[in-house]
């Protein structure tokens, strides 16, 4: 009898366990089963749709509304990309440099007129002359031509193509000052207690007994590289000031100054008649070539803009020779067309 009772208890326990498992399964099935009506009501609330409309209208409205939302999102994404390009100046494929069809002569402009430059050495304009005031003049180089100027104080300036230098014929007073648009290399004559300043669109360089290269074209961020000695750089809004010594470079963009160590050698080779680029982007290389040969530059491949290359060639070589040398570099494909270089 005892054995039978124990067997009944085991069967009862087993049945109870099976019933419990069935109940659990039913509960799980109930929870997992999707409630489509409730889901539709939630979606209507999120999208602002009247859920009391008839079923056919619901689908029409929802699809149209979702499409409009997708278009709005796409427009927002496009706007963000456009803002990113404007703020960070990320290059966009297309024409990046335009030729200038004006007369290509080096000119000198004073208060009365502009004429072809004949004078490049201003040391004969004696600083202590009594019969002349500190008249300002502007030397301007066209595309494809550079020149060397000797200022009245003995400072030597190499002015690169497509550049302007405004300076005093006499260099009178305690402060010597010039204004630069474009690129120039300076070997400043030392004069005790007489400072020398170079003003650009982004900063002012104060010479402290130095040779340095300044590049400040309108279509690029401004930079200065110290070749010898020391300079002080002050942004035009006076928000930042840096002292730079030999082998240091400062870039100024949107009022922000970034300083790094560089080899100054490549930055001064243009004044000796060379294209000299070391680990430079193809975009920067082509901009300089466009400026020197006065030719349109078009990129069809935006990735090629950021290709970094090492390139050295004489600036007096024909354009087809320059392009041929560039095309020997892996990843570079340039085609010469009528007054245009196209980068594939």
Mean pLDDT of the chain: 81
Please write the tens of the pLDDT for every residue from 324-338.
999 999 989 999 998
Closest CA to 304 of 324, 283, 289: 283
Q: Provide the pLDDT for residue 58.
A: 45
Section 128-137 average pLDDT: 63
Strand partners, 182: 216
Closest CA to 216 of 159, 157, 297: 159
pTM recorded for the entire structure: 0.70
Q: Provide the pLDDT for residue 131.
A: 43
pLDDT of residue 253 exceeding 80: yes
115: confidence class by pLDDT, cuts 50, 70, 90: very high
CA atoms lying within 13 Å on the CB side of residue 155: 31
Give 264-327 as a DSSP string: SGGGGGGGGTEEEEEEEEHHHHHHHHHHHHT-EEEES-TGGGG-EEEEEEETTS-HHHHHHHHH
- Report, in angstroms and rounded to the nearest whole number, the Rg of the chain calculated over CA atoms: 36
Q: Provide the pLDDT for residue 137.
A: 95
Higher pLDDT, 52 or 149: 149
Section 307-330 average pLDDT: 96
Q: Provide the pLDDT for residue 185.
A: 98
Please write the tens of the pLDDT for every residue from 34-91.
566 666 676 666 666 665 544 444 444 455 555 556 666 556 555 544 544 444 445 5
Q: Provide the pLDDT for residue 47.
A: 61
Higher pLDDT, 218 or 183: 183
Stretch (H or E) spanning 256: strand 256-261
Please write the tens of the pLDDT for every residue from 230-242.
999 999 988 899 9
Section 86-103 average pLDDT: 70
| Local structure of 17: helix, strand or coil | helix
Higher pLDDT, 88 or 339: 339
Residues 206 and 250: their CA atoms lie apart, in Å, by 13
Higher pLDDT, 103 or 11: 103
Section 220-228 average pLDDT: 94
Axis crossing angle, helix 36-47 with helix 55-88, rounded to the nearest 10: 50
Tokens of 324: 């041929």
| Local structure of 230: helix, strand or coil | strand
Q: What percent of the chain has pLDDT over 90?
A: 54
Phi, psi of 202 (to 5 degrees): -115, -25
């Amino acid at each position: 009898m005892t054995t039978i009772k124990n067997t009944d208890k085991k069967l009862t326990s087993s049945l109870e366990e099976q019933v419990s498992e069935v109940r659990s399964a039913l509960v799980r099935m109930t929870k997992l089963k999707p409630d489509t009506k409730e889901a539709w009501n939630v979606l209507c609330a999120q999208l602002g749709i009247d859920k009391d409309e008839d079923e056919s209208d619901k689908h029409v409205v929802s699809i149209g509304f979702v499409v409009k939302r997708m278009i709005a999102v796409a427009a927002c994404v496009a706007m963000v990309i456009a803002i990113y390009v404007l703020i960070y100046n990320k290059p966009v494929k297309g024409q990046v440099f335009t030729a200038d069809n004006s007369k290509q002569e080096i000119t000198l402009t004073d208060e009365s007129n502009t004429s072809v430059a004949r004078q490049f050495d201003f040391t004969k304009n004696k600083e202590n002359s009594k019969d002349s005031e500190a008249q300002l003049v502007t030397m301007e180089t066209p595309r494809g031509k550079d020149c060397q100027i000797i200022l009245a104080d003995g400072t030597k300036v190499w002015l690169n193509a497509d550049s302007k230098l405004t300076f005093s014929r006499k260099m009178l007073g305690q402060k010597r000052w010039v204004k630069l648009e474009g690129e120039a290399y300076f070997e400043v004559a030392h004069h005790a207690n007489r400072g020398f300043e170079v003003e650009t669109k982004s900063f002012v360089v104060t010479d402290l007994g130095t040779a340095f290269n300044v590049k400040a074209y309108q279509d690029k961020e401004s930079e200065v590289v110290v070749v010898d000695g020391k300079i002080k750089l002050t942004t035009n809004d006076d928000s930042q000031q840096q002292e730079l010594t030999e082998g240091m470079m400062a870039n100024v963009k949107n009022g922000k100054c970034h300083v790094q160590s560089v080899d100054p050698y490549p930055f001064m080779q243009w004044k000796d008649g060379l294209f000299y680029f070391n680990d430079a982007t193809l975009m920067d290389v082509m901009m300089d070539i466009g400026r020197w040969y006065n030719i349109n530059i078009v990129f069809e491949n935006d990735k090629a803009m950021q290709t970094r290359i090492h390139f050295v060639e004489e600036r007096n070589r024909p354009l087809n020779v320059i392009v041929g040398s560039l095309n020997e570099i892996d990843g570079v494909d340039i085609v010469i067309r009528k007054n245009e270089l196209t980068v594939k």
